[in-house]
Amino acid sequence: MTPSTQSNARAGFSLVEVLVSVTLLSFVMMGVGGAATLGLAQMEKARQDLQYSADVQQLTDSLVAKGWNNVATGSSTIRGRGVAWTVTNVNAKSQKVAIVVQRRGLANASVIYSDTVTLYLSDTKVQ
């Protein structure tokens, strides 16, 4: 055997090296898959929070658009989420609107939370 054929016969990977590299690659891929799953779950939670905020903003905008002294106590459902508001007169020129919005917990969907948003409406005429 010449030295050039001897070096060619020894080139390549052994079966043990291939098994070790495939095992390491599989662990890395499992880690990447777990991270992707966690990332997607967090994105879904963020989407739900954003939708919740948009629903509350939509309701407050519609109550503000009705204007002072035109809003009455009521309730509604927005995308399956219960919303109720109560109107109380603070004085002759302003009203307090307490908006109670229900939402499901992010960690435990069977838990219902109630958040309260307070909105004040007043007469635009200054005397």
Instruction: Give the torsion through C-alpha atoms of 58, 60, 62, 68, to 10 deg.
Output: -170
Q: How confident is the model at residue 80 (pLDDT cuts 50, 70, 90)?
A: confident
Alpha-carbon gap, residue 73 to 34, rounded angstroms: 48
Residue 78 has what pLDDT? 87
Residue 125 has what pLDDT? 78
Residue 1 has what pLDDT? 54
Residue pLDDT, tens place only, 20-79: 999 999 999 999 999 999 999 999 889 988 998 898 999 999 999 998 889 999 999 888
